Structure 1
Amino acid sequence: MNGASIPRQLALNLPARTSFSREDFLVSPSNEAAYALVERWPDWPGRRALLIGPSGSGKSHLAAIWAEMAGAAVVPAHALDEGAVPELVARGAVALEDMGPGVSETALFHLLNLAGETGASLLMTARDRPAAWALALPDLVSRLRATDVIAIGRPDDDLFRLLLVKLFLDRQLIVDTSVVDFLVRRIERSFDAARQVVEVLDREGLSRGRRITRALAGELLAEVLAATPGPGAESPDGYK
């Protein structure tokens, strides 16, 4: 999708939604390895894999794509319960979302063991590698070390531009390409920053009865910066 053109104005009469369909996943060099991992299932070493990346980087989108392919149960990691493990594994595929500190280690260990015994597939998502989860069970740590880990990086220019377009479209917003180009140059290159900026523009545009323009984006950027300070700025009113 690199180099895809963006229409001068964007107007959609669709219900507001966040689509997790395969067609709406934006592939670029920063996430193509993760996308390829999902695409080549079930040819995974050990039948399990871990996707890591920052919040909003598309991990849940990829997990949803995979879950539809594999007929997998999708479970928030904090809700994983040892008693439910046999039923989950019986599905033949499980997606565990948002792994990290606080996950039930005994339940996860049981899940990994039973999935290995039965040949069930397991896809996990997390912000950080297992070394940052403060795990106490040595055998669990060992099994996770044997898991294929794929990282999703920060978006490149093309992906970030398309991500902003998608976020506007999800909210049925009409924007000019100058707004998108302005934001690409000014805000932090992160998925969370993009989501927050679009949310603020949507909210303030509605409350002020104004169309979202580059001028309005410039007025509101200081509010976004104050809420989510970045590591550095290229100008007084913009993110690096």
Structure 2
Amino acid sequence: MREAAPPKQLAFDLPLDPRYGREDFLVGPANEAAYGLIEAWPRWPDTVCLITGPSGSGKSHLASIWATRSHAWTVPASEVTADSVTHLVSNGALVIEDIDRPEGREEAALFHLLNLARENGSPVLITAAAPVEALGLVTADLRSRLRLAPGATILPPDDALMRAVLVKLFVDRQLVVDLSVVEAIALRIDRSLARARAVVAELDRDALRRGRRITRPLAMSVLADLGVPDDETDEDDAPA
């Protein structure tokens, strides 16, 4: 009598709330300068500091750590308007996220806010996905002010950080996987924390849908479906 295949489960795409605590941030050579900047507060060399790095690199996580320590408000750059500047600075500390996004960005208001923050001694942490020169700012004074702001850039993660992040992402989802799975994924995907999150989320959905645990063959199948070329050879693939 043939054994029945395990029933497929419904995979609900429920959002996983990211954990932005200090203990949840993994430090490596790629982000240690940015982490050091956060740790240096309140002994910053300037009122305004800037953290840049690609999407998903950990800028918001670091900003959240600093906001908790400094009791700062956090707002997207699009919410810095002429009418809101005085109110925003009144809190005493502020995070301005995604200043690289031009949608709704009021450069005059941003420049006014930075000047008012300096007058009041209110610290401001700014995040951006690109360096100042690539932000497309047309206001010369704002561009100059941001160039002078001390800052740090988050670089692409190295192999060790990629593996550590993958392990953490699986643990956050309460998934138990063999280290060979982590190694195989780390060897093949782009050096991007955002990519790592997307791959782990897809593996979680696929494993739940199939009613199976995440094995190396399943991981390779999901990576292939995501268009990740299998052009690396690790110890498990090497001929005997």
TM-score, normalised by the number of residues in structure 2? 0.86
- In structure 2, stretches of 5+ residues that fail to align are 1-14, 235-240
Shift of 1:128: 0.2
CA contact (8 A) 2:56 2:194 kept: yes
Q: For residues 237 and 99 of structure 1, do their structure 2 counterparts lie closer, same or farther at Cα, with a shift above 3 Å needed?
A: farther
Shift of 1:129: 0.9
**2:143 corresponds to which letter in structure 1?**
V
CA contact (8 A) 2:67 2:95 kept: yes
SS of 2:98's partner is strand
Partner of 2:78: 78
Deviations 1:20-64 (A, max 9, x none): 000111011111111110011122222111101111111111000
Identify which range, 170-179 or 124-133, moves more after superposition: 170-179
Distance 1:171 1:16 in 2: 8
Percent identity for Structure 1 against Structure 2: 51
Partner of 2:190: 188
The answer to whether structure 1 residue 20 and structure 2 residue 16 are counterparts is no
Q: Which runs of 4+ in 1 moved over 4 A?
A: none
Q: CA RMSD in A?
A: 1.9
Say which one has the larger Rg.
2
Shift of 1:237: 9.8
The answer to whether structure 1 residue 208 and structure 2 residue 210 are counterparts is yes
2:220 to 218, 221, 230: 218
**1:235 corresponds to which letter in structure 2?**
D
Shift of 1:95: 0.4
Distance 1:114 1:150 in 2: 23
Partner of 1:164: 166
Identify which range, 51-60 or 79-88, moves more after superposition: 79-88
- For this pair of structures, how many residues does the alignment match? 218
TM-score, normalised by the number of residues in structure 1? 0.86
**1:36 corresponds to which letter in structure 2?**
G
SS of 1:99's partner is coil
**1:80 corresponds to which letter in structure 2?**
V
CA contact (8 A) 1:100 1:127 kept: yes
Deviations 1:117-172 (A, max 9, x none): 11100101111012111111111111111111210111111111110111112222
